[in-house]
Amino acid sequence: MRSAALRLVENDPPTILSVATAVPRFRLDQADVARAAARVFDRERSDIDRLMPVFDNAGIATRHSSVPMEWYFETHGWRERNQRYLANAVELLANAATEALEEAGRKPSDIAAVVVVSTTGIATPSLDAVLLNRLDLPSTILRLPIFGLGCAGGVIGLSHAAALARTLPDGDVLFLAVELCSVTFRRGDMSKSNIIGAALFGDGAAAMVIGRPGSSGLRLGSSGMHTWPDSLRVMGWDVEDDGLGVLFSRDIPTLVREEMRPAADAFLARCGLSVRDLAGYVCHPGGVKVLDALEQAFELAPGTMAAARDILREYGNMSAVTVLFVLQRMIRDGLGGRHLMSALGPGFSAGFQIIEG
């Protein structure tokens, strides 16, 4: 006869007990960033003059950075970049995790597993190991660091955390995400991708406590992924001598407009659902054009994804972290009913997660 604990895991989904966020102390106004970009990029070796309108059209008013503005005018090597990444990532994650635990009414000893997503730096020992003592987490905790998911990491990482929670009836899961896009900016890179990245990306961290089956809160349902074939160069990093070089295709909005809906419909069908069963969407706002494309793909009125647009305007694109800021905002505003959470990232891949209010 199966134990009551096993039946609990099978029949009760994990839940979201709390969502907390953190940003570094340097706040950048988009107008100041645009003026700085005009000075940083060489006018003869780049398309900065032609691309300057992207700073005004990005739908971003402010962002946060782990480094001050003057840092961008200097040359930095890979070692220095990663040192800054480690120091700032640990600090932001510790702050967000502490707040998430307090909001959830949980102690560090209640956490049975921790999942950490990040793609803007390298940590070995991994960030979860570094945070073990900082947060006084149990020495027996299960740890899962995830690298390489880029902007899709917030959704796919959450799905992995939820899957872990389903196997742990006696403990909760701490899900953490941090991205410090600021330290990846390379002033010698005159590519269009780097210029657009300078107009879009910011820094931030998020923490969530995922409750063991039987806990109250928003329920985490089915999850899934879709990876398009022959799409490895759509989005990602090129590893250069002085750091990580941003790579993304100008065709991303078109891909979203034409390919996202069929992938989402197929995922929902596997869950026995359709878009008619959804109360709304929690989407990663990669940029204004991507949000426009998502609304078109899901046949929504322009501006429907208001929370995503607000987060983009206030914080910029924080890669994997951004969708978790959107989720926090929508929960604050009373999210209810069944929602489809989604994000796109390197691969080129989409991550899907059902959330039920």
Nearest to 190 by CA among 17, 29, 45: 45
**In the chain, alpha helices (H):** 4-11, 30-40, 48-51, 53-57, 78-104, 127-134, 153-166, 192-200, 252-255, 261-270, 288-297, 306-315, 322-332
Q: Which domains does the chain have, with CATH numbers?
A: 4-211 (3.40.47.10), 218-356 (3.40.47.10)
Say how many Å lie between the first and final Cα of the chain, rounded.
32
Q: Which of 151, 181, 271, 283 is catalytic?
A: 151
Our answer to whether residue 151 is catalytic in this structure is yes
Confidence (pLDDT) at 7: 41
Confidence (pLDDT) at 238: 83
Whole-angstrom CA distances from 37 to 25, 54, 116, 120, 153 are: 21, 11, 32, 21, 28
Pairwise CA distance, residues 178 & 153, whole Å: 10
Confidence (pLDDT) at 187: 82
Does the N-terminal peptide bond of residue 348 adopt cis geometry, omega within 30 degrees of 0? yes
Q: Give 10-residue mean pLDDT values along the chain (357 residues).
A: 44 91 97 89 80 88 95 91 96 98 97 97 96 95 96 97 90 97 86 85 97 87 94 84 82 91 97 96 95 96 96 97 98 95 94 95
Confidence (pLDDT) at 11: 65
What's the whole-model pTM score? 0.94
The total number of residues written for the chain in this structure: 357
Confidence (pLDDT) at 10: 52
